[in-house]
Every structure is written in structure tokens, then in C-alpha cells.
Structure 1
Amino acid sequence: MSIHLVGGGWPVEDDGAVYRAFFDEIAAHAEAAGKLEGARLAIVLVRDGDAPEKYAEVVAAFEQLGKIDPVPVLAPENAPIAPTAFAEVDGVVVWGGLTPAYRQSLEPAFGELRRLVASGVPYLGFSAGAAIAAEKAIVGGWKIDTVEIGSEHAAEDLEQLTVGAGIGLIDLAVDVHAAQWGSVSRLIAATESGAVDGGVAIDEHTALIVGEGPLRVVGRGSVWKVTPDTGSVRVSTAGADPVPAAG
């Protein structure tokens, strides 16, 4: 079972490839548990005002991708989410919105989420849900001191680069909406400053899949990898893995 990190991009449109492996995994988990009604899927939304509407929209899209028994885990921004919200689930989706609010709301459940993933429950983080999956989560900001390191549009209501403790599912920092919001520059600056030890920035409509084998990239865009390199940084990109030819 794997950790699926999606860089954002909504609606799903033709993004089946981005989510297919996740839905295959939760179906297998549910089948192994003898569940016939579909995979019990916790869907986390931390949003003020529109959480029920957005939840319905996400469920409708996901029901086109697989048979699920959806479990709403909805909270206003910064309201705590109890670990018991994830009882007996076959998969966890943490959706998008204000990244600092997701980090704060889910912090009481970080240990339970780590336990679930370690036991074989697949995790899918979309946008904010991908960012907070990291051990050191980039939660926002567009400056370091007075130096601009990215777009204020991508700052998540924070001025200074802010890194906080994430769920801890992966050791690389994660930034999202990479090409669309220009967040690669923030990840580069965070790495150069030592705030993080390198990481990945994921384009919209693109997923990085972290499992037992090699890292996989699926979807339309790229994953940008930033690593420290003797006082500087090295930046590389990876696109979707080629689909094997039939026959």
C-alpha cells in the first residue's frame, strides 16, 4: 500500500490516472477485510463554510472512480479532529484548502494516521493534504525576512516561510501547485536556508506515489525534486512513468 501525493487541480476531468492506483489499493484493502459495500474511505475536509458542499462534490467524483463507502471527516478551520474519526477505514483522503488549518486540525490524529499507513491503509493527500504528509511540512509563506521567495498568492495567509511538524509519512518536504503557483522557488529557498532538507514540488493534475518500490509519477505534469548540493541546490524533474505497451 502506498502514499499518494497530488499537487492539486480540480475538477478531476480526465485525471483517472492520478487516482487509479489509490482506488485499486483501497479496493484490495476492503476485499481483504471482507467488505462487500465498498471501501470505507475517510475524506477529510477542513474548511469554513463550504465543507458539506465540497464533500458532496468530491464524493460524486470519487464514486466515478471506484466503489466506496464514504466517511465524512469535516471540521471548521483549526478545529481538532479526533483519531477515532478514522476507525476501520480502508483508505484516507486529506483534501485541500488552507494548509496551516489542515495541519493544526489534524495534529491530534497524526499518530493514528501514521499507524494506519504503517498497517497498510493507503493515504491520498490532495494539495494541503499532500503538503502536510511530510515530516517537515511547508505550510506557507512567501518571504524569508524581507526577501521574496515566491508568490503571495501561494502564501496560505502567511508572510514568512513557515515549516511545521507534519504527519511524518515521508521524509521529503512537499510543495504543491508547483508550475501553476510557482512554488518551486519556495521549496528551493526553504532548502537553501536549511528550513528543510530538500523535497518535491508537485504540479497540478499530477501525483507522486510513494510505496515499497521506486517512486512513481502519474498524471499530466511533473514532479520537481530539490536536493542540497554543496552549499547550493540541485533541481531535477520527473514526468509520468511510461505506460507499458500491450502485447
Structure 2
Amino acid sequence: MALYLVGGGPSQATGPVIDRFVEAARQRGPRVAIAILGAQSEAGRYLDMYADPILARWPQALIEPIWLVDEDEGAVDWPAKPEELGGLIIAGGWTPGYLDALTPYRETISRLVRGGLAYLGFSAGAQVVAKRAIASGWQWRGRAVGPEVAGEGSTELTVREGLGLVGPSIDVHTNTQHLLERAIATVLAGHATSAVAIDEDTALVVDTSSGDTEVVGAGAVHWLNRDGNEVRVRVSVSGGTPASPLGAAG
């Protein structure tokens, strides 16, 4: 099975990767969980944004929301028998909050993905899969590496332990929020030896067995690797040269 990592939210341009996710989830069963940050009373209005593209392709899908709440609000109510889920979607939003809510379930998610669960992450849902996840921040060493609006409440670049499904750190909204330099700073700072920066309306598909990757969508994926005191950048687009293998987290 695969990870489907989208550099923004659901859009017409990401239709092909949603097609791929639905095809993969069908092979396991009709249950699709959608995890959204916040209590149902607050976050419920976002559910249709993620559920409707699935149901348009697969009317028989059984959508099971997961409301990712703070510890103070109680435990997260995960679906019964999660090993029988066909797919798991992690929505976009405030990345630090997603990390807080998902970290206690790191081993559960890893086990499910290793067992063949199809994983579709939008924006924050793509960032959190890394071993070292880019959580927030728009400056590094006092220098802007992105717009302040992308800082998600923090000034200095903050990288935290992620779900550990892939080795490189991942940044998103690369073209629309001008965040390529933040991904470069993540590598230069030593938080990770490599990073992947995904454009809006673009997805990186990762085969969880082989590590092989493919770019799908309208934009590009930037591959960053440390080379001494430099960072080497390579760009892949949909239909171009096959993308690089993506190593699993060690």
C-alpha cells in the first residue's frame, strides 16, 4: 500500500491522487477514517471537505470521523477494530496540534500502515508522517525563511518528533507560501539529513514496501539533501523523471 502526501488541501488538481487512494482503500474494505483537529462541535464543519471527494468516487464508503482533541478534552475516540479500516485520512490545519494529538497513537498508525492501510495526508497530515516533522516557525537564526503567516504561532523554526513513517522531513504549500527555504533551513540546521518540499495541488505517492515514489498533480516536489555545508536541491514533476526512493525512518 502507499502513503499519499498532498502539499495542500483537497482540490480539483489533486483528484488523480484521491482516485489512487480510493482504489487502494477499496482493496481492504469500505471503512475510511477521517481525522480532523478539534472537537466535533468546532471542527465538524470541515468534515464534508474531506469526505465528499471520497463519497463522489465511492458512494459505498463508510466515513468514520476521528476528532483529535486535547488531553484536557478527553481521550481521542478511535474507530473500533482499526485494523479493518480501508483507509485513513489526516486533514490539514494547525500542525503542532496534529502532532500533539497524534503522537500518543504513533505506534498504532505505524502498525496500520505497515499492515497495508492506505494513508492520505493533506498539508499538516503530510508533514506529520516524517521522523522529524517540521511543526512551525518562519525564521531561522533570526532570518526569515518563509512568511510570518506560515509560522503557525511560532517564530523560530521548530522541528519535532513525527510519526516516523518516512525518513525525510516534509514541508508543504511550497510554491504558494514560499516555504522552500524553510525546508532548506531544516536540513542546514541538522534537524534532518534530507527533506521533501511539496507544492500546492501536488502529491507525493510513497510505496510503503519499496520506498519508490511518484509525483502526482499540477506542481513540483523538491528533494533536498545535505552535502557538507551545502544543500543539494532536485525537482520532480508529474510525468517527469521517476522520483527518488524515499527511505523509511530508522
When normalised by structure 1's length, the TM-score is 0.88
User: Which one of 89, 94, 100 corresponds to residue 98 of structure 1?
Assistant: 94
Map 1:112-151 onto structure 2 (within 5 A). Answer: 112-151=108-147
Q: Do residues 74 (structure 1) and 67 (structure 2) align?
A: yes
Secondary structure, counterpart of 1:93 in structure 2:
strand
Residue range with higher mean Cα deviation, 12-21 or 105-114 = 12-21
List per-residue Cα deviations over 1:136-173 (Å, max 9, x = no partner).
00011011232222211111111111111111110111
Map 1:178-217 onto structure 2 (within 5 A). Answer: 178-211=174-207, 212-213=209-210, 214-217=212-215
Match of 1:7 in 2: 7
Secondary structure, counterpart of 1:71 in structure 2:
strand
Secondary structure, counterpart of 1:15 in structure 2:
helix
| Cα deviation, residue 85, structure 1 | 6.1
Match of 2:49 in 1: 57
Match of 2:107 in 1: 111
Kept in 2, the 8 Å contact 1:47–1:97? The answer is no
Identity score, percent: 33
Kept in 1, the 8 Å contact 2:69–2:76? The answer is no
Residue range with higher mean Cα deviation, 205-214 or 168-177 = 205-214
| Cα deviation, residue 130, structure 1 | 0.2
Matched residues in 2 for 1:84 and 1:29: separation?
Answer: 15
In the alignment of these two chains, the number of paired residues is: 233
Unaligned runs of 5+ in 1: 31-38, 243-247
Matched residues in 1 for 2:80 and 2:120: separation?
Answer: 16
Matched residues in 2 for 1:135 and 1:85: separation?
Answer: 27
* Ranges of 4+ aligned residues in structure 1 off by more than 4 Å: 77-80, 82-86
List per-residue Cα deviations over 1:41-60 (Å, max 9, x = no partner).
11000036641110123212
Kept in 2, the 8 Å contact 1:46–1:101? The answer is yes
List per-residue Cα deviations over 1:57-88 (Å, max 9, x = no partner).
32122211224110000134676535666722
Secondary structure, counterpart of 1:64 in structure 2:
helix
Matched residues in 1 for 2:81 and 2:134: separation?
Answer: 24
Q: Do residues 46 (structure 1) and 42 (structure 2) align?
A: no
Q: CA RMSD in A?
A: 1.8
| Cα deviation, residue 120, structure 1 | 0.7
Secondary structure, counterpart of 1:157 in structure 2:
coil
Letter in 2 for 1:69: L
Matched residues in 1 for 2:188 and 2:134: separation?
Answer: 14
Matched residues in 2 for 1:53 and 1:101: separation?
Answer: 18
Unaligned runs of 5+ in 2: 241-250
User: Which one of 232, 235, 244 corresponds to residue 233 of structure 2?
Assistant: 235
Residue range with higher mean Cα deviation, 115-124 or 206-215 = 206-215
Mark the CA change 1:52 to 1:85 in structure 2 (over 3 Å): closer, same or farther. Answer: farther
Mark the CA change 1:187 to 1:61 in structure 2 (over 3 Å): closer, same or farther. Answer: same
Secondary structure, counterpart of 1:137 in structure 2:
strand
Secondary structure, counterpart of 1:63 in structure 2:
helix
